[in-house]
Amino acid sequence: MAKKREVMELRFYDVPQNEMVLALVGESWIREYGHDEPNMHFHNLYEIGYCKDGTGKLVLDETAFFYKPGMVSLIPASYPHTTISEEGKGPSYWEYLFLDPMMVIAKLYPGDEMYQREILQGINRRAFFMEETECPVLAAQIKMILDEMRRKNAHYKEAVEGMLLSMMVELIRLSEVTSELSDKRRKVCSTQISAALEYVRVAYAKPIRIEELANICQMSETHFRRVFEACMNMSPMDYINLTRIQISCELMKSGNDSMDVVANKVGFANTSTFNRNFKKFLNTSPYQWKISPENYEGKLLNYNISALKGW
């Protein structure tokens, strides 16, 4: 008999229209966590939590951490977790922010999609859980945003937007996201070859010729190759294939398609070419990447997902 899969809940939230963050604040979040919720869950948005009172454990993927007042959690979308109050110690008090990080990142680095994606990948790489003394600036920003969203005084949206931008910078620093692109290179990327990058982003599944990209950027093919490699530190074809590999990872995280189907969906002529490029960029096979313990989103496929609106 096949082993019954564990149940994991998708709890999804919507950020209110014309706002950049959803805040769950107030006394309704003083509660006994986890005792009547035996299952792990994950969200469709990035979750930022601040513990105001109580003790217990926060389970991130397969690791349990003890929490107490003044602790901060930073959990990417699709990351399995749960909070469990310490039995016999009364309720805990957590407050939360939910947001789409790309909305904030895009405002920090407008017009530079390559850099935006690099940063997003960096902050989604892992979850963080720490005392506010370990990240005093970030913790202070989180608390200020929670307070603004609680009071909603005049111009709170503008105030929160500014705080979110500042908070994102601290999160980027925490995640140790660094770019190999200098400011000069990023400027080149956002001007001379931005049309080519956008075309690859949309048309990655189709056959793409380098001459075609050069024409889009109104350059000769030779000059385009030179500018592209100076900017991106890789050839145009390597960039096309890297984009395809990145998309293939997203497909494998969210579905159960065969490798043949995934290869076809992202634009590789055959599975052997897909495997060769995957190995080149990620130093492993697609199958091994999919089942890797480090690929926490891939683990969601081992669970019977049930979707719930909100908490």
Annotated domain spans of the chain = 7-174, 183-290
Q: How confident is the model at residue 280 (pLDDT cuts 50, 70, 90)?
A: confident
Alpha carbons 130 and 71: distance in angstroms, whole number? 6
- What pLDDT is stored for residue 37 in this prediction? 67
Cα distances (angstroms) measured from residue 140 to each of 106, 118, 135, 286? 23, 26, 9, 41
Residue 1 has a pLDDT of 45
Task: Mean pLDDT check: name the lowest of 33-42, 124-133, 189-198.
Answer: 189-198
- Span 161-170, average pLDDT: 96
Which of the two residues, 119 and 294, has the higher pLDDT score? 119
For residue 210, pLDDT beyond 90: yes
Contact 257, 287 (CB under 8 A): no
- Residue 63, judged by CB atoms within 10 A of its CB (0-12, 13-18, 19+), counts as exposed
Per-residue confidence (pLDDT) for residue 187, from 0 to 100: 53
**What's the DSSP call for residue 76?**
-
pLDDT classification of 254: cutoffs 50, 70, 90: confident
Mean pLDDT, residues 244-258: 85
**124 Cβ contact partners less than 8 Å away, ≥ 6 residues apart:** 46, 76, 77, 101
Is 32's pLDDT higher than 70?
A: yes
Each residue's pLDDT tens digit, 186-209: 555 556 788 888 899 899 999 999
Distance CA 65, CA 75 (A): 14
Q: Which pLDDT band holds residue 158 (cuts at 50, 70, 90)? A: very high
How far is Cα 83 from Cα 66, in angstroms, rounded to an integer? 10
How confident is the model over 47-69, as pLDDT tens digits? Answer: 999 999 999 999 998 899 999 99
**DSSP 3-state assignment of 15?**
coil
Q: Please provide the CATH number assigned to the domain covering 183-290.
A: 1.10.10.60
3-state secondary structure of 95: strand
pLDDT of residue 159: 96
Please report, rounded to a whole number, the percentage of residues in the chain having pLDDT higher than 90: 55
What pLDDT, on a 0 to 100 scale, did the predictor assign at position 283? Answer: 80
- Tell me the CATH number for domain 7-174: 2.60.120.280
Residue with tokens 């309720």: 91
On the question of pLDDT at 226 being above 60, the answer is yes
